[in-house]
Amino acid sequence: MTPSFVEHPQMTVEEFEQIARAAPETVTLEFIQGKLEVKPVPDGDHDEIIMWVLRQCMQQRPELALYPERGLEVEQYRAGRARVDGALAPVGTFAGAGEWADPAGVLMVLEVTSHDHDTDRRDRSEKRDGYAAAGIPVYVLIDRQSCTVIVHSDPGGGSYHRSPSFPYGETVKIPAPVGITLGTGALKDFAT
């Protein structure tokens, strides 16, 4: 799948970062495929899912940390900015980093779908393509609408070459370099 990029972005990355710094704490902004995006405020179930994954990662790979709401430079030539639900990286990866970090040390990004009108475009398409273009090895999407866990891996040429989908309740093996296993039955408690 070839990513679609806006030929004429709404603004430069520098202009976006200036706007994002001035935004109130109640608003989370992203710059994906040349467009300013407002990330919805997560609900309680969304937060519980992130914490569930965080605990799984800590138990199985204590040398790694799942950094919630981490700002990453994504897309080709780092022209995008995404605030990921979770960035899995070795402990200390973001020491000294600013608000928008290079994703070079990130092994996996995690997103959990929100209940808003553009989650399909944003989480299932634009962010997926941005993470692949940045070379992030694994993108896990927990899709609350379809009650599935999608594991995107093997990035190359701006897209992921593997994207198996697993219904809640199945055991999901996250491939290298992550190497963790998620027993996803607990996600049924948060199905909508």
How confident is the prediction along the chain (192 residues), in pLDDT tens digits per residue? 444 444 566 767 777 778 777 777 666 666 667 776 766 666 679 889 999 999 999 999 999 999 998 999 987 656 788 889 999 999 999 999 998 999 999 999 999 987 766 555 666 778 898 899 999 999 999 998 899 999 999 999 989 999 999 999 999 999 999 999 999 999 999 876
Cβ-contact 81, 73 below 8 angstroms: yes
Tokens of 134: 């940045």
pLDDT at 2: 42
User: What are the beta bridge partners of residue 116?
Assistant: none
Query: Angle at the Cα of 1 (from 136 to 8), degrees rounded to 5?
Result: 80
pTM for this structure? 0.79
Q: Which domains, and CATH codes, for the chain? A: 42-190 (3.90.1570.10)
Q: Is 25 exposed, middle or buried (0-12, 13-18, 19+ CB in 10 A)?
A: exposed
Strand pairing class (108-112; 138-143): parallel
Q: How far apart are CA 16 and CA 36, in angstroms?
A: 7
| pLDDT digits 0-9 by tens, 57-103 | 999 999 999 999 899 998 765 678 888 999 999 999 999 999 899 99
